[in-house]
Amino acid sequence: MNNDKEKNVSVNQSNGQKQATDDSNKLHQESSEKIKPQIGIQIQYVKDLSFENPGSPESLTATHENPDIQINVEVQARPLGDDNYEVLLHITANSQSGKTTLFVLELTYGAICKILGVSQESLEPVLLVECPRLIFPFARRILSDATKDGGFPPLMLNPIDFMSLYKQQKTSSTKEVEN
């Protein structure tokens, strides 16, 4: 009788282990199917940087009241494979005082982003809104340092609303397709 109890216990334990293993397998399958959205910046880099100071040294010594500074921002992304994407932030700044160009600054700042758990329909906004938002502070510092090193006050860009930029880009590309 003692033997029977041991067998029952042993059978129940192995059924319990099998049940636990089955539950663990189900959880693993569900977790691999439903990965939480993740954005990882693998590396950041300056792809291209140009600073032109065409009127120097006169432009540095003359007093310029409120120069006109035009800023243009573009975002691009392309797949690299294995859930990795290159995201490029292209920023140009052109400063003029009257008809005199004070400086022209161009920066293409890149990042390799690993995107996991994001649906296909959400991928484009993640690449063109969230990734640029994450790398913008680093690009902004480079722009500030470049203008300061060029002899001008640091160019301090305000934060950019990449969602509005994305919506404008979508609207303009929709209009181009219609025409």
pLDDT in tens, 46-59: 999 999 999 888 88
Amino acid code (one letter) for 175: K
Statement: residue 7 has pLDDT above 50: no
Task: Give the integer Cα–Cα distance in Å for 15 and 8.
Answer: 10
CB contact set of 110 (below 8 Å; sequence gap of 6+): 44, 45, 46, 47, 86, 87, 88, 89
pLDDT value at 87 more than 80: yes
Check pLDDT > 50 for residue 165: yes
Among 75-79, 82-86, 145-149, 175-179, which is the least confidently predicted range?
Answer: 175-179
Is the pLDDT at 37 greater than 60? The verdict is yes
| pTM for the whole structure | 0.76
Give the 3-state secondary structure of residue 142: helix
Q: What's the pLDDT at 22? A: 45
Given this model, what pLDDT does residue 33 score? 57
pLDDT mean over 97-117: 95
User: What is the per-residue pLDDT across 113-150, written as a single tens digit (0 to 9) for each?
Assistant: 999 999 999 999 999 999 999 999 999 999 999 999 99
Q: Residue 60 corresponds to which tokens in the numbers above?
A: 């540095």
- Taking the C-alpha atoms of residue 122 and residue 127, their distance in angstroms, rounded to an integer, is 9
User: What pLDDT was estimated at residue 64?
Assistant: 65
pLDDT at 31 exceeding the cut of 70: no
SS3 category, 86: strand
State the pLDDT at residue 71: 97
CATH pick for 36-169 out of 3.40.50.720, 3.10.420.10, 2.30.130.10, 2.30.30.60: 3.10.420.10
